[in-house]
Amino acid sequence: MKKLFLFLILFNGSFLTVNAQWVDQVSGTASLLGPVFFPSADTGYIAGEVAFLKTTNGGANWNFKSFVPNGYSIYFTSNSTGFCTRNDSLFKTTDGADTWSPVLHRTDVNFQPFFINPDTGFAVGVHFSDSIYVYKTMDAGNTWSFVNSVLNMSYTPIADVHFINDNVGIIVTEWDLIIRTNDGGNTWSTVYDDPLDRPFTSVHFPTSSIGYAVGAIILKSTDAGLTWNELTTPVTSEYLRSVYFTSADTGYVVGGDGLSTGCIIETNDGGANWILSLTASNTFTSVYFPVSDIGYTCGTNGKVMKYTKGANVEDIEDAFISFNCYPNPSNGIFNIQTKQDEVSTIQIVNPLGSVVFEKKLTIEKIQQIDASCLAKGLYYLRVQSEDNVYTDKIVFDK
């Protein structure tokens, strides 16, 4: 049976199912992985510390490629055409990562590519002298023209770059800044300087006006990156490392401590509310959705997972185990009702992502759980069997 994650929302004593699943895939490596990039739903690439992986069947199989980027930056404009960084150079492939050729080089500059269409793209990098170098291509990355370098701005190091169009681009830095250009990279200005010096790791604009930046915090812009407002998150103890929105309102953020903990959170209302979708014993470094209902994430220890929204009826009937929790809210003492015939484990997770209560369930259909030792507030209830994990919100109101 497939490992299925079903997120349940209780309503008036009953429950609704959101057919969504994060499923483990076999990467074939135990090394650090990320970033991940899928130019289509089935064809994707993952750059890693010592490996470069490719799949052509939606991650059912991952194959090792001989060329390994060391700049941790990749971008593909089609299933076969892509770019990566290695040793101060930007490389291009036109045969699905079988062979690579250098197309841009600048000593001590590690470029990050971004394309607004298959022909037009930017490569942005930073020199140790604190100069930002911007190059642009108009011929699918075959040749690159120098746009400008901005001296002595102290914007290093660059964490991520996103261009909304030919003129407007956003850079987030590991040193608490967001900078913006409105003239195609000729000039840059600071649009956000975090007052608590919290760093950033990733930025994504699902529309021309709405964008999100993550790191130690989550920020949202509704005016093409001119201004930014902080959003709340249920995992303030985790370092958020990558963000991807499939629409203005629906998005996913992954992260972790870099070693032994990780999380995936999601929102369906533009970041007003977040759901803790998954916690793990590894850190997630990158997330990418080629289409709205299929996504991929990867991270430490060779971790790769695939998300599928809207599993078919046969999969749901085969994997689904009826589950209910009542009363909810409660005073900390509540009942778990299941139809399963196997021993499961129940965990209660606080909004910071820490497990604060754990108990094994028997095969009895209705069992009382006493978690009255926990403080009043919102928690996440996770029931895990051998093949399934069910997650729901639970409120203790004493």
Q: Are residues 303 and 354 in the same domain?
A: no
**210 in a domain, yes or no?**
yes
- Looking up residue 379, the CATH number of its domain turns out to be 2.60.40.10
**96 in a domain, yes or no?**
yes
At 135-153, the pLDDT tens digits run: 999 999 999 999 988 765 5
pLDDT of residue 339: 62
Q: Are residues 307 and 343 in the same domain?
A: no
CB 261 within 8 A of CB 238: yes
Q: Which of 262, 278, 313 is the last residue of a domain?
A: 313
Place of tokens 């046969």: 314
Mean pLDDT confidence for 258-278: 91
Q: Are residues 307 and 336 in the same domain?
A: no
pLDDT of residue 109: 87
**321 in a domain, yes or no?**
no
Q: Are residues 135 and 196 in the same domain?
A: yes
pLDDT of residue 26: 86
**318 in a domain, yes or no?**
no
The length of the chain, given as a count of residues: 398
Mean pLDDT confidence for 93-115: 94
Decide which of 260 and 226 is more confident.
Answer: 226
Domain extent, residue 352, equals: 331-396
pLDDT of residue 252: 97
**149 in a domain, yes or no?**
yes
Place of tokens 């997630």: 284
Its pTM stands at 0.74
At 274-330, the pLDDT tens digits run: 988 888 889 999 999 999 999 999 999 899 999 998 644 344 344 344 567 889 899
pLDDT at 72 exceeding the cut of 80: no
Category of 282 on φ-ψ map: left (φ > 0), alpha (ψ -120 to 50) or beta: beta
pLDDT of residue 87: 83
CB 169 within 8 A of CB 158: no
CB 226 within 8 A of CB 209: no
At 13-50, the pLDDT tens digits run: 222 233 358 888 888 888 899 999 999 999 999 998 88
Q: Which of 57-66, 315-324, 342-351 has the lowest mean pLDDT?
A: 315-324
Q: Are residues 30 and 95 in the same domain?
A: yes
Q: Are residues 31 and 87 in the same domain?
A: yes
CB 338 within 8 A of CB 321: yes
Q: 384: which strand partners? A: 345, 389
Looking at residue 313, the DSSP 8-state letter turns out to be: H
pLDDT at 210 exceeding the cut of 50: yes
Neighbour-count burial of 16, counting CB atoms closer than 10 A to its CB (0-12 exposed, 13-18 middle, 19+ buried): exposed
Structural domain count, the chain:
2
Q: Are residues 282 and 151 in the same domain?
A: yes
Q: What percent of the chain has pLDDT over 70?
A: 83
Q: If residue 226 lies in a helix (H) or strand (E), which one and from where to where?
A: none
Decide which of 310 and 334 is more confident.
Answer: 334
Round the average pLDDT of the chain to a whole number and report it. Answer: 85
Q: Cα(202)–Cα(172) distance, rounded to whole angstroms?
A: 7
Q: If residue 314 lies in a helix (H) or strand (E), which one and from where to where?
A: helix 313-319
